[in-house]
Structure 1
Amino acid sequence: MDTLIQQVLSGNATVGDLRRVNRVYAQKQRRVAQYTGEYTNGRRTLE
């Protein structure tokens, strides 16, 4: 990931690089939303 950040900052990132980052970020967001829903709906506990 550090390499990609360096590419973006230097202006050398490709569209494919940025799409990959967006896809991974979206996957992580969905996972967080899923777990958040499970905790707030009582299916999981923090204990």
Structure 2
Amino acid sequence: MSDLRQDIRTSGQKRKIIINAVIKVVISIAVILLALWLLGVFK
């Protein structure tokens, strides 16, 4: 029973790590697109 609970906890941590990684990627892509758009506007 305790093993099952520990598995759930570790899977939750893994999910959190994956979500954080996805958010970082999305933010970096958005920043790059914004920078390219601004460069295109001001060129």
Q: Which runs of 5+ in 1 are unaligned?
A: 1-11
Q: Percent identity?
A: 3
Q: Could you say which structure has the greater relative contact order, defined with CA pairs below 8 angstroms and 6 or more residues apart?
A: 1
Given the two structures, how large is their TM-score scaled by the length of structure 2? 0.65
Pairwise CA RMSD of aligned residues? 1.9
Is the helix fraction higher in 1 or 2?
2
Where do 4+ consecutive residues of structure 1 move more than 4 Å?
Answer: none
Given the two structures, how large is their TM-score scaled by the length of structure 1? 0.60
> Which of structures 1 and 2 has the bigger CA Rg?
2
Q: Which runs of 5+ in 2 are unaligned?
A: 1-7
